[in-house]
């Protein structure tokens, strides 16, 4: 078993300890100093993260594994009993077609964060830092960018806009599937899922996740 324990940012270098069959890793705790990260700083931090991840060679799933998880939820009524039949067919079709569209482009793939949305960014005295790396996967950087606000993408270099649009749709479809999963505990998750389905049906311009969140918060 592996346990993660926070340590203060001024403590000594990270260490790993093993005792009585338990492995404990000490994770640095960074005190948040701001709740807002500018799009420029956000984009630069994500670019640095991607640059660092290109140097990491570890076994990791592909982004398609995450699509498969969403497809399983949609395909199995026992996992998504409240998803209407018409929505089930529509969502299944979109997940399949969008997976094919992204893969057919043959984009360059690398290790990614997986979900670098604003909820996974800390504003610290060292600048923006990303947390919750358990969603790491391999894929095009546009898959990560599909999770961030539009203004952030405007400051990230060399973005393939066509691929980004397809990845945005893909993320909308994946998150919609997760919101219909039995036992989902996200506050207003079902309403969020309904809005995601509506956005996919309405067509472009494709909204970002934070845009839909703001719309729900304004209700």
Residues recorded for the chain: 219
pLDDT recorded at residue 26: 76
**Measured between alpha carbons, how far is 148 from 144 in angstroms, rounded to an integer?**
7
The 3-state DSSP class for residue 17 equals strand
| pLDDT for res 10 | 52
For residue 6, pLDDT beyond 70:
no
Mean pLDDT value across residues 78-103? 98
Q: Which residues pair with 138 in a beta bridge?
A: 62, 111
Are 172 and 196 in contact by the 8 Å Cβ rule? The answer is yes
pLDDT tens for each residue of 54-84 = 999 889 999 999 999 999 999 999 999 999 9
205 upstream amide cis, omega within 30 of 0:
yes
Amino acid 19: pLDDT:
81
How far is the C-alpha of 215 from the C-alpha of 117, rounded, in Å? 16
Q: pTM of the entire structure?
A: 0.89
**Joined tokens for residue 53:** 């991840």
pLDDT number for residue 3: 35
Q: Between the CA of residue 150 and those of 32, 110, 132, 204, what are the distances in Å?
A: 23, 22, 21, 14
Q: Whole-angstrom Cα distance, residue 73 to residue 180?
A: 8
pLDDT digit string, tens, across residues 105-127: 999 999 999 999 999 999 999 99
Q: Residue 216: what pLDDT? A: 84
Asked if residues 165 and 204 have their Cβ atoms less than 8 Å apart, the reply is yes
């Amino acid at each position: 078993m592996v346990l993660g324990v926070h340590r203060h940012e001024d403590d000594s270098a990270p260490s790993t300890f093993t005792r009585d069959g338990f492995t404990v890793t000490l994770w640095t705790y960074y005190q948040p100093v701001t709740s807002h990260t500018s799009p420029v700083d956000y984009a630069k931090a994500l670019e640095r993260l991607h640059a660092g991840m290109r140097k990491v060679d570890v076994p990791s799933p592909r982004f398609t594994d995450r699509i498969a998880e969403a497809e399983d939820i949609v395909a199995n009524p026992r996992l998504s009993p409240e998803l209407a039949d018409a929505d089930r067919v529509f969502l299944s079709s979109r997940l399949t077609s969008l997976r094919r569209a992204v893969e057919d482009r043959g984009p360059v793939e690398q290790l990614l964060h997986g979900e670098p949305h604003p909820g996974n960014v800390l504003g610290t005295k060292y600048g923006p830092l990303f947390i919750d790396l358990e969603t790491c996967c391999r894929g095009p950087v546009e898959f990560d960018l599909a999770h961030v606000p539009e203004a952030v993408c405007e400051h990230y270099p060399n973005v393939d806009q066509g691929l980004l649009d397809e990845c945005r749709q893909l993320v909308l479809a994946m998150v919609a599937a997760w919101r219909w999963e039995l036992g989902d505990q996200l506050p207003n998750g079902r309403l969020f899922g309904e809005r995601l389905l509506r956005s996919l049906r309405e067509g472009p311009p494709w909204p970002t996740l934070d845009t839909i969140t703001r719309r729900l918060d304004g209700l």
